[in-house]
Amino acid sequence: MQAFMGKTPKSPLFDRASGGRPGGPPYRRREAACTRVALPATIGNVENHSHRAEGIWADIQRIRAEAPVVHNITNYVVMNTTANALLAIGASPVMAHAQEEVEEMTAIARSLVINIGTLSTPWIAAMFKAGDAARRNARPMVLDPVGAGATTFRTDTARKMLAEISPAIVRGNASEIRALACDERSTRGVDSAHAPEDAAKAADALSARYGCVVATSGAVDLISSGGMTSRVFNGHPMMSKVTGMGCAASALAGAFAAVNRSAFDAAVNAMAVMGIAGELAAEHAPGPGTFLVRFLDALYLLNESDIRERLKVQES
Residues 6+ apart with CB under 8 A from 160: none
- CATH of 43-314 among 3.30.70.2740, 3.30.470.30, 3.40.1190.20, 3.40.50.300: 3.40.1190.20
DSSP 220-234: SEEEEETTEEEEE--
- What 3-state DSSP class applies to 207? helix
CA distances 211 to 144, 162, 163, 259, 315, Å, are 16, 10, 10, 20, 20
pLDDT of residue 15: 32
pLDDT of residue 41: 52
pLDDT in tens, 160-219: 999 999 999 999 999 999 999 986 555 444 444 455 567 889 999 999 999 999 999 998
Mean pLDDT of 246-275: 98
Residue 100 has pLDDT above 70, yes or no: yes
Closest by CA to 203, choosing from 229, 184, 234, 235, is 229
Mean pLDDT of 254-260: 98
* The model's pTM: 0.84
Residue 25 has pLDDT above 60, yes or no: no
For the chain, the structural domain boundaries read: 43-314
In angstroms, rounded to a whole number, what is the distance separating the alpha carbons of residues 154 and 138? 26
pLDDT of residue 37: 47
